[in-house]
Amino acid sequence: MLRTLTLAVLLATAGLPALAQSQQRLRVGVTPGPHAQILEAVKPIAAKRGLDLQVVEFSDYVVPNEALSSGELEANSFQHQPYLDNQKADRGYKIESVAQTVNFPMGVYSKRHKSFDAVPAGGTVAIPNDPTNGGRALLLLQDKGLIKLKSNVGFKPSVADITENAKRLRIIEVDAAQTPRSLDDVDAAAVNTNYATAAGLKPADAILKEEPKGPYVNVIAVRSADKDKPWVATLVESYRSPEVKAFIESKFSGAVLTSW
């Protein structure tokens, strides 16, 4: 009887190593807030398709691409295409986007004023200090008629490109992750949505809000050498699934927009 029991246990467990091996581990870099929350929603979908997603959070925008390029990650999901293009041009990364994901319309927030009209002449406005997100903030201010920029500045204008500033706004540049904290010291701050929600700011309360624009849709990025590997397509399909779309729409109430 002991022999029969032992045989039964062996048969029952014989498939376990193969099952464990069938789960391919992928380390995916994200920033805190919505990007991390969305990837957590992707995990069970990906698991059903053979991927074991390990969500790795980074507190800034620079390190996730460094970690991907050096092989510490298999993918990341935190940036839009203009930012990725700028990083590749500056640092020579051999990484590329493989799918569009979600859009986070940038907002300008204030603890002092209920509307931007209330910001006084000479008021201070904080913007992110990296070229693409800082440029994005300046384009938002231009779209709202608050400043004018040189023509043909593309998606990366700088403060030096301001040609008109009727309100004499004093624009200061801070690390993107610190823009929510700067609200204690400035009249207003342009804050990326992932940092805004992580800091408890409600996108609906922004005193200025960017209109959704194609160039700022976020992407999944992988090393160029990996882009055609089967797991990449599986990761993309898992992210862009109906279940994840429903999660985003119910969780973020329009603050995060899906691209599919």
**Do 77 and 125 reside in the same domain of the chain?**
no
**Do 201 and 79 reside in the same domain of the chain?**
no
Q: Is the residue at 142 inside a domain?
A: yes
Q: Is the residue at 95 inside a domain?
A: yes
Rounded CA separation 169/175 (Å): 19
Rounded CA separation 192/172 (Å): 16
Residue 212 is predicted with a pLDDT of: 67
Q: Is the residue at 94 inside a domain?
A: yes
The string of pLDDT tens digits covering residues 152-169 is 898 889 999 999 999 999
Q: Is the residue at 156 inside a domain?
A: yes
Rounded CA separation 49/234 (Å): 7
CATH of the domain at 61: 3.40.190.10
| Residue the block writes with tokens 């993918």 | 75
Rounded CA separation 32/11 (Å): 44
The string of pLDDT tens digits covering residues 207-245 is 999 876 678 899 999 999 999 999 999 999 999 999 999
Full pLDDT tens readout for the chain, 260 residues:
434 433 343 444 444 444 445 789 999 999 999 999 999 999 999 999 999 999 999 998 999 999 999 999 999 999 999 999 999 999 999 999 999 999 988 999 999 999 999 999 999 999 999 988 999 999 999 999 999 999 989 888 999 999 999 999 999 999 999 999 999 999 999 999 889 988 999 888 999 998 766 788 999 999 999 999 999 999 999 999 999 999 999 999 888 989 99
**Do 198 and 221 reside in the same domain of the chain?**
no
Spatial contact of 32 and 200, defined as CB atoms under 8 Å apart: no
Q: How many residues does the structure list for the chain?
A: 260
Tokens coding 90: 């500056």
Spatial contact of 9 and 37, defined as CB atoms under 8 Å apart: no
**Do 76 and 118 reside in the same domain of the chain?**
no
**Do 222 and 188 reside in the same domain of the chain?**
no
Q: Is the residue at 231 inside a domain?
A: yes
Total tally of structural domains belonging to the chain: 2
Total-model pTM = 0.74
**Do 219 and 100 reside in the same domain of the chain?**
yes
Residue 179 belongs to domain spanning? 107-211
Residue type, 126: A
